[in-house]
Amino acid sequence: MSRRGELDAIVVGAGPVGAALAAALARDGFEVALVEARTPKPWHAGDEVDPRVVALAPDARDLLDDLGVWPSIAASRAGAYRHMHVWDATAPGELHFDAAERGEAALGWIVENRLIQHALWNALVPDREDREAAVHGRSFHPSSGTVRVHCPNEVVEVENGEDAVVATLDDGTRLRARLLVAAEGAESALRGRLGIAFEGRDYGQRAVVAHVATERAHESTAWQRFLPGGPLAFLPLADGRCSIVWSLPDAEAARVLAQGDAAFRAELGCAFDFRLGAITAATPRLAFPLRLRLAERYLAGRCVLIGDAAHVVHPLAGQGVNLGFRDVACLRRVLREARERDNDPGAAHVLRRYERERRSENALAARSFDLIERVFGSSSAPSAGLRAAGLALASRVAPLRRVLADAAAGRR
């Protein structure tokens, strides 16, 4: 589709979302360059489970399956969850979701970020020596199509022209394409270089993450308890442990991080209402700040944002990466349809279709998660009453419970 000597797309960032887009476009026959600042760290089955995990929704799993990487992920370390249990610490009522109610095998899968990136990188860069070293602009041929990989490299200048975009890399390489995609994550340098502002707020919270062993089995269940300081999630890992994501005010997070192991396990068990018995072991804790960020626009000339470069949401629903994979699926579809109509994939009217669809859906999701955090994170009597009424209503009304189950599992 590209003109002679010109790429169809430059994808900047080889995290799960950027790598998935590069692989998807290559499979569709587009000529793609992938630029990544650091060679992804190899994943090994003998390594400790990465502390950053995601709750993959069925449509995200389907995308990875279409790209040919899901079988290797599933055979490595993917923990299916078939149930979800949600309750509040200060209001009566509980919700339980079951995949069997929908005639499905699972509501979703808990998978390490690094495992997803590793599987995609292996698909893009098939040779082991190249995967573990700099690849210096070499072209690779995943199942179909071509990806020209530039790693380690960064974009230092972007020339946004009428007919093409030119990206200059830090080694002096100049790449010319019809379209450039910024997928470097929440701290996207390209977003700033393109003059696209973010709106949102800091939650004044940090998410404390670790993996824990419990007295009782996790029952292939994703557990979430809403506490006055923020939600606490126990997510089932394939090895029988749980990955915890505990959202806490900054000062409380600092205190919890400084605790000794025994004190931490005791407080965590209490916060979780000992639903799985005592916490018997825990890995070292990490924490990251929680923010809401929404790009004011997704387009600048022939450049477009996807994933966390465009939107950062509260982790209470575990849907950040699912939103990013939906960006990938949407942009992929829009570009394929443009090719079928012999349209320029970087033309404004083509990219606006992607922006209209994804910006509205991502903003709705982000605001919804923000509203849930405000209501369930408040200890006021009116909020507690609202939570109790909502949980009671949802538990009794099957159609409403199905809608909430879809939202909890990341379905549209």
Q: How confident is the model at residue 396 (pLDDT cuts 50, 70, 90)?
A: very low
Tokens encoding 14 = 């080889």
Share of the chain above pLDDT 70, in %: 83
Q: How confident is the model at residue 230 (pLDDT cuts 50, 70, 90)?
A: confident
Please, are residues 317 and 409 in contact by the beta-carbon 8 Å criterion? no
**Closest to 324 measured CA to CA, from 310, 337, 304:** 310
Tokens encoding 353 = 């279709």
Distance between CA 235 and CA 243 in Å, rounded?
5
Higher pLDDT, 386 or 16: 16
The per-residue pLDDT for 403 is 46
Higher pLDDT, 371 or 71: 71
The label of the residue with tokens 């806490």 reads 248
According to DSSP, the β-strands at 221-227 and 83-88 are parallel
The label of the residue with tokens 């509260």 reads 314
The CATH class of the 7-48+115-199+291-370 domain is alpha beta
Q: How confident is the model at residue 142 (pLDDT cuts 50, 70, 90)?
A: low
The per-residue pLDDT for 244 is 97
Q: Is the pLDDT of residue 193 over 90?
A: yes
Q: Is the pLDDT of residue 317 over 60?
A: no
Identify residue 21 by its one-letter amino acid code. Answer: L
Distance between CA 132 and CA 143 in Å, rounded?
20
What value does the mean pLDDT of the chain take? 87
Distance between CA 282 and CA 362 in Å, rounded?
34
Q: Is the pLDDT of residue 218 over 50?
A: yes
Strand partners, 86: 95, 224
**Closest to 28 measured CA to CA, from 404, 355, 329, 271:** 329
Q: How confident is the model at residue 400 (pLDDT cuts 50, 70, 90)?
A: very low
Please, are residues 301 and 165 in contact by the beta-carbon 8 Å criterion? yes
In three-state form (DSSP H/G/I as H, E/B as E, the rest C), the secondary structure along the chain is CCCCCCEEEEEECCCHHHHHHHHHHHHCCCEEEEECCCCCCCCCCCCCCCCCEEEECHHHHHHHHHCCCHHHHHHHHEEEECEEEEEECCCCCEEEEEHHHHCCCCCEEEEEHHHHHHHHHHHHCCCHHHHCCCCCCEEECCCCCEEEEECCCCEEEEEECCCCEEEEECCCCEEEEEEEEECCCCCCHHHHHCCCCEEEEEEEEEEEEEEEEECCCCCCEEEEEEECCEEEEEEECCCCCEEEEEEEEHHHHHHHHHCCHHHHHHHHHHHCCCECECEEEECCCEEEEEEEEEECCCEECCEEECHHHCEECCHHHCCHHHHHHHHHHHHHHHHHHHHHCCCCCCCHHHHHHHHHHHHHHHHHHHHHHHHHHHHHCCCCHHHHHHHHHHHHHHHHCHHHHHHHHHHHCCCC
Q: How confident is the model at residue 380 (pLDDT cuts 50, 70, 90)?
A: low
- Mean pLDDT throughout 233-256? 96
Share of the chain above pLDDT 90, in %: 69
The per-residue pLDDT for 298 is 98
What are the structural domain ranges in the chain?
7-48+115-199+291-370, 53-68+80-111+203-290+377-408
pLDDT digits (tens, 9 = 90+) for 45-74: 999 999 999 999 999 999 999 999 999 999
At the fourth CATH level, the homologous superfamily of domain 53-68+80-111+203-290+377-408 is D-Amino Acid Oxidase, subunit A, domain 2 (3.30.9.10)
